[in-house]
Amino acid sequence: MSTVHLQHEHNRETCRQYLESLGDYVEGTLAAELCREIEAHMAVCDNCRIVVNTLAKTITLYRQMPSPELPNAVRERLFAVLDLAPYYRPGPESEDEPDSVT
Amino acid sequence: MSHQDDSDLVARLKAGDQAAYAQLVNDHAARIYRLALRMMGNETDAEDVLQETFLSAFKSIDNFEERASLSTWLYRIATNAALMRLRRKEPELVSVEEPVERDDGDLLPRQFFDFCCLPEEDFLRAEARAEMLRAIDELPATLRSVFILRDVEGLSTEETAAALDLSISAVKSRLMRARLKLRERLATYFSQGPVIPETRQ
Ligand SMILES: [Zn+2]
Protein backbone atom coordinates (compact mmCIF):
# COMPACT_ATOMS: atom_id res chain seq x y z
CA MET A 1 0.00 0.00 0.00
CA SER A 2 2.71 2.47 0.97
CA THR A 3 4.75 1.80 -2.16
CA VAL A 4 1.72 2.49 -4.32
CA HIS A 5 1.26 5.70 -2.39
CA LEU A 6 4.87 6.75 -2.95
CA GLN A 7 4.64 6.01 -6.64
CA HIS A 8 1.55 8.16 -6.81
CA GLU A 9 3.36 11.06 -5.16
CA HIS A 10 6.17 10.61 -7.62
CA ASN A 11 3.87 10.78 -10.64
CA ARG A 12 1.44 13.26 -9.27
CA GLU A 13 2.00 15.92 -11.92
CA THR A 14 1.69 13.36 -14.72
CA CYS A 15 -1.45 11.89 -13.18
CA ARG A 16 -2.95 15.35 -12.81
CA GLN A 17 -2.29 16.10 -16.47
CA TYR A 18 -4.14 12.99 -17.56
CA LEU A 19 -7.04 13.51 -15.19
CA GLU A 20 -9.05 15.79 -17.46
CA SER A 21 -8.71 13.45 -20.43
CA LEU A 22 -10.00 10.44 -18.52
CA GLY A 23 -13.64 11.32 -19.20
CA ASP A 24 -13.09 11.23 -22.96
CA TYR A 25 -10.93 8.17 -22.51
CA VAL A 26 -13.60 6.09 -20.76
CA GLU A 27 -16.18 7.21 -23.34
CA GLY A 28 -13.87 6.24 -26.18
CA THR A 29 -13.88 9.74 -27.65
CA LEU A 30 -10.26 10.58 -26.96
CA ALA A 31 -7.79 10.97 -29.85
CA ALA A 32 -5.92 7.74 -30.53
CA GLU A 33 -2.53 9.23 -29.78
CA LEU A 34 -3.56 10.46 -26.36
CA CYS A 35 -5.20 7.09 -25.67
CA ARG A 36 -1.90 5.35 -26.27
CA GLU A 37 -0.18 7.82 -23.96
CA ILE A 38 -2.69 7.20 -21.19
CA GLU A 39 -2.49 3.46 -21.66
CA ALA A 40 1.30 3.59 -21.43
CA HIS A 41 0.98 5.60 -18.23
CA MET A 42 -1.60 3.20 -16.77
CA ALA A 43 0.78 0.31 -17.40
CA VAL A 44 3.16 1.84 -14.85
CA CYS A 45 0.72 3.71 -12.61
CA ASP A 46 -1.65 1.58 -10.56
CA ASN A 47 -3.52 4.58 -9.24
CA CYS A 48 -4.49 5.89 -12.66
CA ARG A 49 -5.42 2.41 -13.80
CA ILE A 50 -7.69 2.06 -10.78
CA VAL A 51 -9.20 5.51 -11.29
CA VAL A 52 -10.01 4.68 -14.92
CA ASN A 53 -11.54 1.31 -14.02
CA THR A 54 -13.61 2.65 -11.15
CA LEU A 55 -14.65 5.74 -13.08
CA ALA A 56 -15.99 3.53 -15.86
CA LYS A 57 -17.67 1.32 -13.25
CA THR A 58 -19.26 4.36 -11.58
CA ILE A 59 -20.76 5.49 -14.89
CA THR A 60 -22.04 1.97 -15.64
CA LEU A 61 -23.60 1.63 -12.19
CA TYR A 62 -25.55 4.86 -12.57
CA ARG A 63 -26.63 4.02 -16.12
CA GLN A 64 -27.97 0.69 -14.85
CA MET A 65 -29.78 2.16 -11.88
CA PRO A 66 -33.47 1.24 -12.13
CA SER A 67 -35.53 4.27 -13.03
CA PRO A 68 -38.39 5.27 -10.78
CA GLU A 69 -41.86 5.05 -12.28
CA LEU A 70 -44.39 7.84 -12.35
CA PRO A 71 -47.02 6.72 -9.82
CA ASN A 72 -50.58 6.89 -11.11
CA ALA A 73 -51.64 9.03 -8.17
CA VAL A 74 -49.02 11.62 -9.14
CA ARG A 75 -50.07 11.43 -12.80
CA GLU A 76 -53.70 11.88 -11.84
CA ARG A 77 -52.99 14.94 -9.67
CA LEU A 78 -50.90 16.39 -12.51
CA PHE A 79 -53.79 16.12 -14.97
CA ALA A 80 -56.09 17.69 -12.39
CA VAL A 81 -53.75 20.63 -11.72
CA LEU A 82 -53.46 21.22 -15.46
CA ASP A 83 -57.25 21.22 -15.93
CA LEU A 84 -56.93 18.10 -18.04
CA ALA A 85 -58.72 15.68 -15.70
CA PRO A 86 -60.96 14.26 -18.49
CA TYR A 87 -57.81 13.15 -20.34
CA TYR A 88 -56.31 11.23 -17.44
CA ARG A 89 -55.73 7.52 -18.07
CA PRO A 90 -53.82 5.40 -15.58
CA GLY A 91 -50.46 4.33 -16.92
CA PRO A 92 -49.03 0.83 -16.60
CA GLU A 93 -47.75 0.78 -13.05
CA SER A 94 -45.42 -2.02 -12.08
CA GLU A 95 -46.18 -4.26 -9.13
CA ASP A 96 -42.75 -3.63 -7.68
CA GLU A 97 -42.17 -1.20 -4.90
CA PRO A 98 -40.91 1.99 -6.48
CA ASP A 99 -37.23 2.35 -5.56
CA SER A 100 -36.94 4.58 -2.57
CA VAL A 101 -34.98 7.76 -2.75
CA THR A 102 -33.88 8.22 0.79
CA MET B 1 -38.07 12.39 -31.16
CA SER B 2 -37.12 14.63 -34.06
CA HIS B 3 -38.12 18.27 -34.41
CA GLN B 4 -40.15 17.26 -37.46
CA ASP B 5 -42.39 15.00 -35.36
CA ASP B 6 -42.84 17.83 -32.89
CA SER B 7 -43.99 20.47 -35.33
CA ASP B 8 -47.53 19.17 -35.79
CA LEU B 9 -47.97 18.87 -32.03
CA VAL B 10 -46.48 22.33 -31.48
CA ALA B 11 -48.93 23.84 -33.92
CA ARG B 12 -51.84 22.23 -32.08
CA LEU B 13 -50.43 23.32 -28.71
CA LYS B 14 -50.12 26.90 -29.91
CA ALA B 15 -53.71 26.71 -31.12
CA GLY B 16 -54.79 25.77 -27.58
CA ASP B 17 -55.89 22.22 -28.42
CA GLN B 18 -56.61 20.46 -25.11
CA ALA B 19 -55.94 17.00 -26.54
CA ALA B 20 -52.52 18.22 -27.65
CA TYR B 21 -51.78 19.40 -24.11
CA ALA B 22 -52.77 15.99 -22.80
CA GLN B 23 -50.51 14.34 -25.36
CA LEU B 24 -47.56 16.50 -24.31
CA VAL B 25 -48.09 15.40 -20.71
CA ASN B 26 -48.47 11.76 -21.65
CA ASP B 27 -45.35 11.80 -23.78
CA HIS B 28 -43.07 13.49 -21.26
CA ALA B 29 -44.43 13.33 -17.70
CA ALA B 30 -42.61 10.13 -16.73
CA ARG B 31 -39.26 11.45 -17.90
CA ILE B 32 -39.71 14.82 -16.24
CA TYR B 33 -40.75 13.16 -12.98
CA ARG B 34 -37.65 10.97 -13.06
CA LEU B 35 -35.43 14.00 -13.60
CA ALA B 36 -37.22 15.90 -10.82
CA LEU B 37 -36.92 12.99 -8.40
CA ARG B 38 -33.18 12.64 -9.03
CA MET B 39 -32.67 16.39 -8.75
CA MET B 40 -34.75 16.89 -5.60
CA GLY B 41 -34.16 13.59 -3.84
CA ASN B 42 -37.70 13.28 -2.52
CA GLU B 43 -41.13 12.58 -3.95
CA THR B 44 -42.96 15.62 -2.62
CA ASP B 45 -40.60 18.14 -4.16
CA ALA B 46 -40.39 16.06 -7.33
CA GLU B 47 -44.16 16.24 -7.76
CA ASP B 48 -44.11 20.01 -7.24
CA VAL B 49 -41.40 20.39 -9.87
CA LEU B 50 -43.37 18.15 -12.25
CA GLN B 51 -46.51 20.27 -11.90
CA GLU B 52 -44.59 23.52 -12.14
CA THR B 53 -42.86 22.33 -15.30
CA PHE B 54 -46.06 21.66 -17.23
CA LEU B 55 -47.84 24.72 -15.86
CA SER B 56 -45.04 26.95 -17.06
CA ALA B 57 -44.67 25.03 -20.33
CA PHE B 58 -48.36 25.59 -21.10
CA LYS B 59 -48.00 29.26 -20.22
CA SER B 60 -44.99 29.80 -22.43
CA ILE B 61 -45.76 27.52 -25.36
CA ASP B 62 -46.21 30.60 -27.56
CA ASN B 63 -42.55 31.45 -26.98
CA PHE B 64 -41.37 27.97 -27.92
CA GLU B 65 -38.99 28.21 -30.84
CA GLU B 66 -38.35 25.06 -32.72
CA ARG B 67 -34.61 25.24 -32.48
CA ALA B 68 -34.76 22.72 -29.68
CA SER B 69 -36.99 19.67 -29.42
CA LEU B 70 -39.99 19.78 -27.10
CA SER B 71 -38.23 17.23 -24.97
CA THR B 72 -35.10 19.38 -24.50
CA TRP B 73 -37.28 22.42 -23.90
CA LEU B 74 -39.19 20.61 -21.14
CA TYR B 75 -35.96 19.36 -19.56
CA ARG B 76 -34.80 22.94 -19.50
CA ILE B 77 -37.95 24.21 -17.79
CA ALA B 78 -37.83 21.33 -15.31
CA THR B 79 -34.16 21.82 -14.46
CA ASN B 80 -34.71 25.52 -13.89
CA ALA B 81 -37.70 24.81 -11.66
CA ALA B 82 -35.69 22.28 -9.70
CA LEU B 83 -32.67 24.56 -9.32
CA MET B 84 -34.85 27.44 -8.18
CA ARG B 85 -36.47 25.26 -5.55
CA LEU B 86 -33.10 23.89 -4.41
CA ARG B 87 -31.70 27.39 -4.17
CA ARG B 88 -34.43 28.22 -1.67
CA LYS B 89 -33.93 25.00 0.29
CA GLU B 90 -30.19 24.58 0.27
CA PRO B 91 -28.55 27.82 -0.83
CA GLU B 92 -25.14 26.52 0.23
CA LEU B 93 -25.27 23.81 -2.43
CA VAL B 94 -26.46 26.06 -5.24
CA SER B 95 -24.31 29.13 -5.54
CA VAL B 96 -25.55 30.98 -8.59
CA GLU B 97 -22.11 32.02 -9.69
CA GLU B 98 -20.29 28.79 -9.11
CA PRO B 99 -16.88 29.12 -10.69
CA VAL B 100 -16.77 26.82 -13.69
CA GLU B 101 -13.14 25.92 -13.18
CA ARG B 102 -12.20 25.55 -9.59
CA ASP B 103 -8.77 24.46 -8.53
CA ASP B 104 -8.34 20.82 -9.45
CA GLY B 105 -7.16 20.16 -5.92
CA ASP B 106 -10.47 18.74 -4.74
CA LEU B 107 -10.81 16.63 -7.87
CA LEU B 108 -7.57 14.73 -7.48
CA PRO B 109 -8.46 11.14 -6.66
CA ARG B 110 -7.56 10.18 -3.12
CA GLN B 111 -9.26 6.86 -2.71
CA PHE B 112 -7.74 4.02 -4.71
CA PHE B 113 -9.81 1.09 -3.63
CA ASP B 114 -10.43 -0.86 -6.84
CA PHE B 115 -14.13 -1.64 -6.54
CA CYS B 116 -14.64 -2.22 -10.25
CA CYS B 117 -14.57 -5.98 -9.99
CA LEU B 118 -16.45 -6.67 -6.79
CA PRO B 119 -19.11 -9.38 -7.02
CA GLU B 120 -22.20 -8.05 -8.77
CA GLU B 121 -24.42 -8.60 -5.71
CA ASP B 122 -22.41 -5.99 -3.79
CA PHE B 123 -23.74 -3.36 -6.17
CA LEU B 124 -27.32 -4.59 -6.02
CA ARG B 125 -27.66 -4.34 -2.23
CA ALA B 126 -30.29 -1.84 -1.10
CA GLU B 127 -27.58 -0.19 1.03
CA ALA B 128 -25.37 0.33 -2.02
CA ARG B 129 -28.26 1.68 -4.08
CA ALA B 130 -29.19 4.09 -1.30
CA GLU B 131 -25.58 5.24 -1.06
CA MET B 132 -25.51 5.90 -4.81
CA LEU B 133 -28.62 8.08 -4.54
CA ARG B 134 -27.26 9.94 -1.50
CA ALA B 135 -24.09 10.58 -3.46
CA ILE B 136 -26.12 12.29 -6.22
CA ASP B 137 -28.02 14.31 -3.62
CA GLU B 138 -24.80 15.62 -2.18
CA LEU B 139 -23.35 16.84 -5.44
CA PRO B 140 -23.55 20.61 -5.85
CA ALA B 141 -26.78 21.20 -7.78
CA THR B 142 -25.01 22.60 -10.82
CA LEU B 143 -22.99 19.41 -11.18
CA ARG B 144 -25.98 17.25 -10.29
CA SER B 145 -28.11 18.61 -13.14
CA VAL B 146 -25.39 17.90 -15.71
CA PHE B 147 -24.74 14.43 -14.34
CA ILE B 148 -28.43 13.49 -14.27
CA LEU B 149 -29.13 14.65 -17.80
CA ARG B 150 -25.99 13.04 -19.27
CA ASP B 151 -25.43 9.87 -17.28
CA VAL B 152 -28.83 9.03 -15.83
CA GLU B 153 -31.18 10.30 -18.55
CA GLY B 154 -28.70 9.59 -21.33
CA LEU B 155 -28.89 12.94 -23.16
CA SER B 156 -26.00 13.80 -25.47
CA THR B 157 -23.51 16.50 -24.53
CA GLU B 158 -25.17 18.81 -27.06
CA GLU B 159 -28.69 18.19 -25.73
CA THR B 160 -27.50 18.72 -22.17
CA ALA B 161 -25.82 21.97 -23.15
CA ALA B 162 -29.05 23.14 -24.81
CA ALA B 163 -31.20 22.10 -21.85
CA LEU B 164 -29.00 23.84 -19.31
CA ASP B 165 -27.94 26.79 -21.44
CA LEU B 166 -24.29 25.87 -21.01
CA SER B 167 -21.40 25.63 -23.43
CA ILE B 168 -20.25 22.19 -24.56
CA SER B 169 -17.01 22.62 -22.68
CA ALA B 170 -18.82 23.61 -19.47
CA VAL B 171 -20.97 20.47 -19.76
CA LYS B 172 -17.88 18.30 -20.23
CA SER B 173 -15.99 19.83 -17.37
CA ARG B 174 -18.95 19.69 -14.95
CA LEU B 175 -19.69 16.13 -15.95
CA MET B 176 -16.11 15.14 -15.28
CA ARG B 177 -16.16 16.82 -11.86
CA ALA B 178 -19.45 15.12 -11.00
CA ARG B 179 -18.19 11.69 -12.06
CA LEU B 180 -14.92 12.06 -10.15
CA LYS B 181 -16.76 13.11 -7.00
CA LEU B 182 -19.13 10.17 -7.28
CA ARG B 183 -16.25 7.79 -8.00
CA GLU B 184 -14.40 9.04 -4.94
CA ARG B 185 -17.44 8.58 -2.78
CA LEU B 186 -18.25 5.08 -4.06
CA ALA B 187 -14.60 4.04 -3.68
CA THR B 188 -14.72 5.14 -0.05
CA TYR B 189 -18.01 3.38 0.50
CA PHE B 190 -17.01 0.07 -1.08
CA SER B 191 -13.60 0.08 0.60
CA GLN B 192 -15.43 -0.36 3.90
CA GLY B 193 -16.73 -3.72 2.78
CA PRO B 194 -20.34 -4.92 3.02
CA VAL B 195 -22.05 -2.80 5.61
CA ILE B 196 -23.30 -4.28 8.84
CA PRO B 197 -25.49 -1.48 10.14
CA GLU B 198 -24.60 -1.80 13.85
CA THR B 199 -20.87 -1.42 13.32
CA ARG B 200 -20.87 1.41 10.84
CA GLN B 201 -19.81 4.79 12.21
ZN1 LIG C 1 -0.98 8.11 -12.78
A36-95: pLDDT as tens digits: 999 999 999 999 999 999 999 999 999 999 889 999 999 999 999 999 999 999 877 655
Q: Would you list the domain boundaries of chain B? A: 3-89, 110-196
- pLDDT confidence band for B92 (50 / 70 / 90): low
pLDDT at B103 over 60: no
pLDDT at A99: 47
Q: Could you please report the per-residue DSSP string of chain B?
A: --HHHHHHHHHHHHTT-HHHHHHHHHHHHHHHHHHHHHHHSSHHHHHHHHHHHHHHHHHHGGG--TTS-HHHHHHHHHHHHHHHHHHHH-GGG--TT--SS--GGGGS------GGGS-HHHHHSHHHHHHHHHHHHTS-HHHHHHHIIIIIS---HHHHHHHHT--HHHHHHHHHHHHHHHHHHHHHHHHT-S--GGG--
Q: DSSP H helical segments within A1-102, as ranges?
A: 2-19, 22-27, 32-44, 46-64, 72-81
Q: Which residue of B has its CA nearest to A90?
A: B26
- pLDDT confidence band for A100 (50 / 70 / 90): very low
CA of B98 to the centre of ligand 1 (A): 29
Task: Answer yes or no: do A22 and B47 touch at CB < 8 A.
Answer: no
CA of A11 to the centre of ligand 1 (A): 6
Q: In B, which residues are within 8 Å of A75 by CB distance? A: 29
Name residues 51-90 of chain B within 8 A of A (Cβ): 51, 54-55, 58
* Domain range B3-89, CATH class: mainly alpha
Give the C-alpha separation, A92 to A102, whole Å.
Answer: 24
pLDDT at B89: 81
Q: In B, which residues are within 8 Å of A69 by CB distance? A: 30
How far A59 CA lies from chain B's nearest CA (Å)? 7
Please name which of B72, B74, B58 lies closest in space to residue B18, comparing C-alpha atoms.
Answer: B58
CA of B135 to the centre of ligand 1 (A): 25
Q: Contact A75/A90 with Cβ under 8 angstroms?
A: yes
From B33, B152, B179, residue closest to A23, measured CB to CB: B179
Q: Contact B20/B9 with Cβ under 8 angstroms?
A: yes
Q: Is B187 on the interface with A (CB under 8 A)?
A: yes
Q: Contact B67/B6 with Cβ under 8 angstroms?
A: no
Please name which of A43, A51, A70 lies closest in space to residue B181, comparing C-alpha atoms.
Answer: A51
Q: Is A20 on the interface with B (CB under 8 A)?
A: yes
CATH number for the segment(s) B110-196: 1.10.10.10
ipTM over cut 0.95: no
A2-40: pLDDT as tens digits: 444 444 444 678 888 888 888 889 888 899 999 999 999
Ion ligand 1: residues, CB < 5 A:
A 11, 15, 45, 48
Q: Give the residue with greater pLDDT, B182 vs A28.
A: B182
pLDDT at B95: 56
At residue A42, what is the residue type? M
Q: Which residue of B has its CA nearest to A102?
A: B130
Q: Which residue of B has its CA nearest to A2?
A: B112
B198: burial class by Cβ within 10 Å (0-12, 13-18, 19+)? exposed
pLDDT at B48 over 90: yes
Question: Cβ neighbours of residue A27 under 8 Å, at least 6 residues apart?
Answer: none
In chain B, the largest separation of any two C-alpha atoms, in whole Å, equals: 62
pTM, 2 dp:
0.84
pLDDT at A38: 92
* Percentage, residues of chain B above pLDDT 90: 75
